[in-house]
Structures are given as C-alpha cells and as structure tokens.
Chain A
Amino acid sequence: MQLASAIYALPLSAGISLVYCASRFELPGKIVRSAVLMFAKTIAALVAFYLVLLYLSG
C-alpha cells in the first residue's frame, strides 16, 4: 500500500517539473530539457530517500 501511494509521486513530479521550468524559461526546447532533468533528479532523490527509510526500518 505504501509503495502504491508512492506511484502518485511520478505524474505529480512530472507536472511540477514542467510548470516550474516553464516559469523559468521561454523556449519550448529549453523548458522540456530542464523539466526532464529536474524530473530525473527529483525521482532519484525520492528513491534515495525511500531506500534510506527502508534500510532504517529493516
């Protein structure tokens, strides 16, 4: 159930990344590239945080 709830983070992070980067730049290409990078960094950070919690609770 916990993992299922974490799935909500994927589309939410994508949406936040797109809106955040759209508010930083004007060119579509730059917006999309920045958003993809931000999305990847966010998911990586969430996975790392989840693994730390998993290790601590194990």
Chain B
Amino acid sequence: MKDPRLQLKNPVVAAFLAFAIPGAGHWYQGRRFKATIYSVCILTIFVWGMILGGGQPVYSQLLLRSDGPAPTAQLQASPLRMKFSFGYVAQVIVGAPAWPALIQEMRMRNVEAKINWIDAPIESDFQGMLSRGFGGRTSEIVSGTINLLPANENGSSVVTGTLHALLADGTNQELPLTGEIQLGREVFGSPRREIRCEVLGHDEDEHEVRFELEGTVGRSFINWFQAPRDTLELDRLNGQLSQKFDIGSVFTWIAGLLNLMAIWDAAQGPAYGYGDEDENPDDEEPDDAKKTT
C-alpha cells in the first residue's frame, strides 16, 4: 500500500542498498528512524549469533571427504566435494556481513591444496598428541609452541624446527622436529590447522627414535572466517559450544529473514500503510445512515 507522503526515491537502488547493508536503503530514502531500527536490530541479532557460535555459524558449503587415506577434509589433497548449506540461503539475505562466505568458497576452489608441503616458517601455539613407542604404543597429550621450518628456503616436503612442549606430566621439553610433513589446507573453516610430522627423541636405552606428532596449529583469521568446513569441524564446534552453536546459527538465519522484510519495505513501502489511517473505517456509519435509523 503506497502512501503519497512516502518518498521511496529509486526503489531498485533502495532495495539493493537494503540488501547490501540492513538499513542503508531506508537511510538513502531519508527514512532515518526505520533505517536505525533495521540496522541496529538486524545487525545486532546477526553479530550476536556469530558470537554465540564462536564466529562460525556462517558458511556456504559443507565439505565431504572423498574415500581415501586422508583422515579429514583438511588433509585431503584431491579436490573436495561440496554440498550447499541451506542455512546460508537465509544468512546471505543479511547482506555484506555474510558475503565473505562466497569469497572463501571461491578461494577454497582456486587455492591449490599443498598438503605435503611447507613453503614458509610457521610459528604458533600447538595442541595435539605425541605417540611414543612402537610396539606397545601409547599416546600423550602435548601442548606448547611450535616453530616449523621447511628443510630448504624454497619450500620442502620435509620439516625441521622445534616443539617447545608441555607434556602431560607437567614437564617441559624442547623436541626437534623432523620427517615429512602433512599440513592442513590453507583455506578451511576452522581456526585450527592440522599438522602431522615426527619428533626426534630417545628411548629408555638412549637410542634415537622418532615419535609421531599430530595436532593442530593456529590458522589466520582471514583463512578460516566463513570458509567451508567439514562435518568433523561441526562436530568439534557442537562439542565445544553445545547448544550455543545451534542458537547462534538460528540467530543468523533470523537476521537474514528479517532483512527480507526490510528489503521489501524499501522497495514497496510499509505493508499496512502510513500508520495514521483509521483502523476500522467500516465501523463508523455515514451521517446520512445514522439519521435514517
């Protein structure tokens, strides 16, 4: 219902602006009060959902691991199968705040996965497991900081460096790294990047042995934010955040769906009218009718 008092300017431009940034279309039309309501409410719900979900509820593609030796999609070198995330249909309507997912999807498709290669030093915190012994194999939890270096300057499949490890018994050890590296994909929807290599150590008889080291190092924000992820990462998120991840996801869906109403309002005006119309015009009888009865 259009009211002559409404100045929608160019409705197509307003609708696009409303889609790009909640409230921007109404600001362009000079409807500042509604612009403020839309931007504050919609963006607050969206950001709140992102915070509840650990910054990870928005992603456009779910990765499916192909059959093969790779334990996770992060460590799979061959092209990954992707499945569209239907929740993203609602999230993308919130506009620019959800667009990085599309960029990350393109990056995921175009950046070559170098799983068995390290081309630059990596210094990060480390969380993982150290497998000790060969026959009666045991593992222990290790954390600390790790300095990974390629075996030569131009990159290598062999890693050197050091793990400053805090072992489960509370002792600190400096463990030299060696062996062929497996490094998770550069672009992936997880703040943690998987890594596997070997650690040089000594057994009880002071013989040099190699222990398997597997765990995760940090991944830069720009490489994980809104990037596609696999079900293992979703399991990790659900385990870590419990229902907060689901609530956060629902909040981001709701924010997108609310912006749909804002886009419609920017293009067509308010659904019920200006707001000062008589709510029940049929209830009042005309004066002539009152006189005759």
Interface residues of A (CB under 8 A from B): 5, 8, 11-12, 15-16, 18-20, 22-31
How many Å lie between the Cα of A25 and that of B6 in the bound state?
11
Verify A26–B45 contact, CB threshold 8 A: no
Asked whether any CB of chain A lies closer than 8 Å to the CB of B231, the reply is no
B interface, how many residues as a size bin? 20 to 34
Q: From DSSP, what is the main secondary structure of chain A's interface residues?
A: helix
List the B side residues contacting A26 at CB < 8 Å: 3, 5-6, 31, 34, 269-270, 273-275
Closest to B248 in A: A8
Most B CB within 10 A of own CB, among A24, A25, A29, A30: A25
A-B contact pairs, 5 of them (CB 8 A): A12-B45, A12-B251, A18-B41, A25-B274, A26-B270
Asked whether any CB of chain A lies closer than 8 Å to the CB of B241, the reply is no
Shortest CB-to-CB span from A36 to chain B, Å, is 13
How many Å lie between the Cα of A15 and that of B82 in the bound state?
34
Shortest CB-to-CB span from A3 to chain B, Å, is 13
Known: A15-B44, A18-B37. A25 touches B275 (CB 8 A): yes
Shortest CB-to-CB span from A31 to chain B, Å, is 7
- Which of A11, A15, A23, A31 interacts with B261 by CB under 8 Å? A23
Closest to B22 in A: A19
Asked whether any CB of chain A lies closer than 8 Å to the CB of B213, the reply is no
Further contacts, 17 of them, CB under 8 A, given A25-B272, A26-B275, A31-B275: A8-B247, A11-B48, A12-B254, A16-B41, A19-B258, A19-B261, A20-B258, A22-B262, A23-B265, A24-B270, A24-B271, A25-B273, A25-B275, A26-B6, A26-B269, A26-B270, A31-B33
How many Å lie between the Cα of A20 and that of B264 in the bound state?
11
- Which of A8, A18, A22, A30 interacts with B265 by CB under 8 Å? A22
How many A-B pairs have beta carbons closer than 8 Å: the answer is 67
Verify B274–A22 contact, CB threshold 8 A: no
Closest to B45 in A: A15
Known: A8-B247, A15-B44, A30-B276. A22 touches B254 (CB 8 A): no
Shortest CB-to-CB span from B243 to chain A, Å, is 7
Verify B37–A27 contact, CB threshold 8 A: no
Verify B33–A28 contact, CB threshold 8 A: yes
List the B side residues contacting A25 at CB < 8 Å: 270, 272-275
Which parts of B29-53 form the interface with A (CB within 8 Å)?
31, 33-34, 37-38, 41-42, 44-45, 48
How many Å lie between the Cα of A20 and that of B261 in the bound state?
7
List the A side residues contacting B254 at CB < 8 Å: 12, 16
Verify B270–A23 contact, CB threshold 8 A: yes
How many Å lie between the Cα of A6 and that of B279 in the bound state?
35
List the B side residues contacting A20 at CB < 8 Å: 258, 261
CB 8 Å contact bits of B234-265 with A (1 = contact, 0 = none): 00000000010001000100100010011011
Most A CB within 10 A of own CB, among B254, B271, B274, B275: B275
